[in-house]
Amino acid sequence: MPMTDELRDELIQTDDEFRRLHEEHLACKERLHEINQKSLLSQDDEIEEKKIKLHKLALKDRMEQILRAYRESHVSA
């Protein structure tokens, strides 16, 4: 189940870990954008791009875990 904007915004305001993950995810997104603006990527750029994509995915997965746990705790309450 994807995150809803309202719930995401609430967690950004109230959950320190979620906020940190979200900010780091945005920083990764920005860095990927910078890399992709280059007309020709070096081997180092390609390696960095792959590492960032994997890290960004891990951040998103952790944010989804937090979101699921939040939903479950509020549904069963």
Q: Is pLDDT larger for residue 23 or for residue 7?
A: 23
Q: What is the pLDDT of residue 76?
A: 63
pTM: 0.85
- Domain that residue 19 falls in: 5-72
DSSP one-letter string for 6-48: HHHHHHHHH-HHHHHHHHHHHHHHHHHHHHHTSSS--HHHHHH
Tokens of 37: 């603006």
In a domain, 59, yes or no: yes
Give dist(CA 60, CA 54) in Å, integer. 10
Is the pLDDT assigned to residue 1 strictly greater than 50? no
What's the number of domains the chain is made of? 1
In a domain, 64, yes or no: yes
Look at residue 67 and give its three-state secondary structure. helix
Give dist(CA 26, CA 24) in Å, integer. 5
Tokens of 43: 């081997």
In a domain, 77, yes or no: no
